[in-house]
Amino acid sequence: MKTLKRLNTFFLIVIVLLVVIDILFADYLTGIWNRVFIALLAISLGLSVVIEVVIKKHKKKK
Amino acid sequence: MNRYGWLMSSIMNTTGDLGYMVKQANEAPQGAARFNFDNLNMDQIKSQSSVWLSEAMVVGGRRIDDHSYMEEALIISGVLLSDDASVVLPLDDIAIPFILGGAYILDRVYRSGNTNYPGPWSTDRPNNYIPRPMSSINNKTFFPEGNGKDFIKWALRLGGASVLAKKLYDGFYLQPDSMPVDNANFVKPLPPFYTPIPNPNRP
């Protein structure tokens, strides 16, 4: 449970960093880096939401 | 609302000023009553136009929208029904539904159902006025996902999702149609910088 919460926080920080990177270095995010950026953002967003749902279900079971 | 009221109010609401009406009045034919707007301010013009509006609505000392088309249609229907026993046969009763239907349509088209529109306005509070209770909001359930930490979490996720959506939208493009290929006369395209190696066994 604690690990999941830490993971969630980590992914949230990653999302914030990626958004900041997109704002600051949007001109350099071309080609493969654009795809890498999209993949990282999608993965961190999806896992963050999945972890949130898992935590909520775990709480409900208790 | 009567038809003149509809016309006037639509003109005033769409143009936002009375310039159109002023133009109409100044371009009236010779002999018609003219009104001089030069020495009037906008409030006076507006009050004068409201006087015209109320004059237009009064016909025979009675406001036009005091009664409805349906009222008149019911009177006509009563006459048609009452002459069945007398000179005229009940043959004319066939007209009643058409008269009623026409009156219904006219009422729907030309009347709003509010006989006081567009006036006279009153600032008196009606007797049956009940103040609407103001519903309070619950701070704990205002955001569907909760307040505080949870709200920040979902706000960050939504921000990231919007960035992702914009990236995907910018990168999206339609694939071009494939080129048609003549398979019968297909020639394998040569690679670039092709240098044929001479075959000694070739005739």
pLDDT digits (tens, 9 = 90+) for B129-172: 787 778 787 777 777 666 777 888 889 999 999 999 998 888 77
pLDDT of residue B165: 93
Does the beta-carbon distance from A12 to B156 stay under 8 Å?
yes
pLDDT of residue A1: 85
When mean pLDDT is compared across A20-34, A36-50, B55-69, B163-177, the lowest value belongs to B55-69
Distance CA B81, CA B96 (A): 9
Asked if residue A57 lies in contact with residue B194, where contact means CB atoms within 8 angstroms, the answer is no
Q: Are strands B62-63 and B58-59 parallel, antiparallel or unpaired?
A: antiparallel
Quick check: B119 pLDDT over 60?
no
Count Cβ atoms within 10 A of the Cβ of residue A15 and give its class: 0-12 exposed, 13-18 middle, 19 or more buried.
buried
Percentage of residues of chain B with pLDDT beyond 90: 13
To the nearest whole angstrom, how far is the Cα of A19 from the nearest Cα of chain B?
Answer: 6
pLDDT of residue B10: 47
Does the beta-carbon distance from B160 to A52 stay under 8 Å?
no
pLDDT tens for residues B189-199?
766 666 667 77
pLDDT of residue B2: 43
Chain A positions touching chain B (beta carbons under 8 Å)? 8, 12, 15-16, 18-19, 22, 34, 37-38, 41-42, 44-45, 48-49, 52
- Of the two residues A47 and B1, the one the predictor is more confident about is A47
pLDDT of residue B33: 55
Across the interface, of B159, B168, B171, the residue whose CB is closest to A19 is B159
Angle formed at CA B172 by CA B170 and CA B174, multiple of 5 degrees: 140
> CA nearest B95: which of B107, B120, B111, B78?
B78
> Side-chain half-sphere of A19: how many Cα atoms within 13 Å?
19
pLDDT of residue B6: 47
Domain ranges of chain B: 1-64, 67-121, 139-171
B59 backbone dihedrals φ, ψ, rounded to 5°: -130, 120
Count Cβ atoms within 10 A of the Cβ of residue B73 and give its class: 0-12 exposed, 13-18 middle, 19 or more buried.
buried
pLDDT of residue B17: 46
When mean pLDDT is compared across B43-47, B72-76, B149-153, the lowest value belongs to B43-47
Across the interface, of B157, B163, B171, the residue whose CB is closest to A48 is B157
Average pLDDT over residues B101-109: 85
Across the interface, of B156, B163, B171, the residue whose CB is closest to A22 is B163
Task: Using a CB–CB cutoff of 8 Å, tell me whether B153 touches chain A.
Answer: yes
Give the Cβ contact number of residue B6 at 10 Å: 16
Cα torsion at B109, B115, B121, B125 (round to 10°)?
A: -120
pLDDT of residue B137: 77
Angle formed at CA B2 by CA B68 and CA B5, multiple of 5 degrees: 165
pLDDT tens for residues B26-41?
555 555 555 566 667 7
The overall average pLDDT reported for chain B is: 71
- CA distance readout (Å), B114 to A50, B56, B72, B120: 56, 17, 18, 12
Quick check: A8 pLDDT over 70?
yes
